[in-house]
């Protein structure tokens, strides 16, 4: 069964929400808040992390950029599918606990 946006676990993040998804060595951060790209329009922003550092990932982010914004739930589903292929692993939704955010 493929993991989709509906399977994600969101926690509090600033004045919005965040979800994290593990793909082998990569983590996908998905946020929606007042300062995220598209957050005020109800859309999501993603960033990819590897070894704790925010990284570019061809096919996911643009060259020279580590974030991608103005994304719909369907866009997030497509990104998770691409990351499954890139990482050769199934996505694992993680608990987000941003008590200090």
Helix, strand, coil abundance in the chain, percent, nearest 5: 20, 35, 45
Domain total in the chain = 1
Residue 48 DSSP SS3: strand
Following CA atoms 78, 49, 44, 37 in sequence, which dihedral angle do they give, to the nearest 10 degrees? Answer: -130
User: How far is the C-alpha of 85 from the C-alpha of 79, rounded, in Å?
Assistant: 10
Q: How many CA atoms lie within 13 A of 1 on its CB side?
A: 6
Whether 78 maps to a domain, the answer reads yes
Whether 101 maps to a domain, the answer reads no
What does the pLDDT look like over 51-96, one tens digit per residue?
A: 999 999 999 999 999 999 999 999 999 999 999 999 999 999 998 8
Whether 85 maps to a domain, the answer reads yes
Whether 54 maps to a domain, the answer reads yes
What does the pLDDT look like over 4-53, one tens digit per residue?
A: 999 999 999 989 999 999 999 999 999 999 999 999 999 999 999 999 99
Whether 99 maps to a domain, the answer reads no
Whether 100 maps to a domain, the answer reads no
Residue numbers of the domain that contains 15: 5-94
pTM value is: 0.92
């Amino acid at each position: 069964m493929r993991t989709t946006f509906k399977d994600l676990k969101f926690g509090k993040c600033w004045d919005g929400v965040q979800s994290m998804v593990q793909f082998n060595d990569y983590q996908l951060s998905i946020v929606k808040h007042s300062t995220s790209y598209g957050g005020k329009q109800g859309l999501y922003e993603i960033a990819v992390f590897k070894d704790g550092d925010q990284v570019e990932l061809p096919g996911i982010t643009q060259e020279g950029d580590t974030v991608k914004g103005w994304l719909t739930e369907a866009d997030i589903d497509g990104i998770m599918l691409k990351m499954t292929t890139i990482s050769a692993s199934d996505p694992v939704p993680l608990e987000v606990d941003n008590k200090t955010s």
